[in-house]
Amino acid sequence: MFENSLEKAKSVLKRRTSKILGGYITEYFFKLKYSDVYDGRLYTQGWWGGRERFGNRDLTFFVVKNELNDLDLKVINNLQTHHYLCKQISYEDSQWWIKDSTQPRLSLEEYLKERGTTFDQNTYIKNAKVDATTELCIKLYEKEGLLAKIATSIFLEDTFLNKYYKISNIDLIGEDENGIPIYFEVKFKDEFEYTVRNSSRSFLAFGIDEFQFDELFPVFYQCGMKVNNVILYNDVKKGKNISNTVIFDFLVTKLGHPVTEYKLTDIYREVKDKLVWKEKRLSNCSNYETLVFRAFTSWNGQGTRKVYCVPLREYNDFLNGYVHKSADAPSINYWGVCPKCGNGSYFIQEQNNTVSRRVCEKLICSNCSEVKLK
């Protein structure tokens, strides 16, 4: 809906913080990573899950696209078989429509009336704080041809999805080798230190949003589908607990030069072998403690967000189409927990050139300095 009005699209993107806008880069990179690793497997995006803020507060899933692929149809069938509301939202004839296979399409106003509430056309969203990183995001998305698509998503979220639902985006749905759908929750993060309640014991962890963990993930388990938490790991941070780090400093470090003159696809191709992806398969047996994060973690930089604290040690390496199990001690050439600085980082095997192809008895942590293990 913004294809012919890119200036309006840019103004819509300014409703979000630079951290949130940077999240689209992470999702885009994972889509490319998924396609590289699983060539030929289906994937889909544009999915949302939320609970109504009115009436019966029913849990509802939406897929926002004009044309559905086979994986979309499989997920819809799985959800509807278990009696969950699942609707397609499309933009046709200069208007938003909601439909499914059982009824004619309805306008947003007609759908909300059917659900027992009224549509309010007045939507005023205050812009988030605009900084140089916000402008850089906008420039990159414009070069990649993603500006209108992202603006359309934000516009629909503000005028309908987030307005009438407690809502969360599903970053990507893929499939396993047997065609079973997988809900991928994807984030760019570094670990934080969590102290267990009523205890002096602490551990390094990643956070997973409470609403997704409590409301959306269980639906996928119940419907015979899978849930994976994927982390693009920030292994170039300069200190601990900097969970508000925007992805651009990370990319500049990986590239060795500014990102401003490149398309996102070109940036990914140049740095893909330097990226550390972590993966955790979640289940309905998972049980973790919670923590409330500060305001910058919310979608507009206001308020707070509660997360479940999943131990870093439970994540595996997501490399070249297979999962490499992380051990408590760092594995050579793989990701692990550094015994010196306590951060997750790559460990590099060092060769001793004076002895033919023998390996020195030490590993080098890319986050701090060399660590002698023997």
**Domain match, 235 and 362 both:** no
Kindly state whether residues 226 and 250 are assigned to the same domain.
yes
Instruction: Tell me the C-alpha distance between 174 and 184, whole Å.
Output: 7
Residue 231 domain flag: yes
- Based on the fold, state whether residues 365 and 290 are members of the same structural domain: no
| pLDDT confidence tier of residue 328, bands split at 50, 70 and 90 | very low
> What's the whole-number average pLDDT of the chain?
83
Residue 1 falls inside a structural domain: no
Domain co-membership, 213 together with 361:
no
| Residue of 194 and 99 predicted with greater confidence | 99
Range among 110-114, 240-244, 280-284 with highest mean pLDDT value = 110-114
> Could you tell me if 86 and 60 are in contact, meaning their C-beta atoms sit under 8 angstroms apart?
yes
Give the number of residues written for the chain.
374
* In the predicted structure, residue 21 carries a pLDDT above the cut 60: yes
Position 329 pLDDT exceeds 50: no
Domain that holds residue 365: 329-374
263 and 130: one domain? yes
Are both 13 and 145 inside the same structural domain? yes
Contacts of 13 (CB under 8 A, 6+ apart): 21, 134, 137, 138, 141, 147, 150, 151, 154
pLDDT digits over 288-311, tens only?
999 987 645 444 556 678 999 999
Q: Are residues 43 and 165 in the same domain?
A: yes
CA 225 centroid distance within chain: 18
Higher pLDDT, 72 or 319: 72
With pLDDT > 90 as the criterion, what percentage of the chain qualifies?
A: 55
Please tell me the predicted confidence (pLDDT) of residue 349.
45
For 242, phi then psi, to 5°, come to: -95, 65
DSSP designation for 214 = I
Full-model pTM = 0.84
Q: Are residues 129 and 223 in the same domain?
A: yes
Alpha helices in 182-278 (DSSP H): 210-211, 217-222, 247-255, 264-271
Residues 350 and 212 in one domain: no
C-beta separation of 29 from 268 below 8 A: yes
Query: What pLDDT, on the 0 to 100 scale, is given for residue 192?
Result: 85
For residues 278 and 30, give the distance between their C-alpha atoms in angstroms, rounded to a whole number. 11
> Would residue 348 count as lying in a domain?
yes
Q: Are residues 97 and 213 in the same domain?
A: yes
Structure tokens, 229: 């938490």
7 in helix, strand or coil?
helix
Q: What is the pLDDT of residues 123-169, one digit of tens each?
A: 667 778 888 888 999 999 999 999 999 999 999 999 999 999 999 99
Domains held by the chain: number:
2
More confident: 368 or 198: 198
Q: Are residues 258 and 367 in the same domain?
A: no
- Examine residue 263 and state whether it is found in any structural domain, yes or no: yes
Percent of the chain exceeding pLDDT 70 equals 79
**Who wins on pLDDT, 30 or 373?**
30
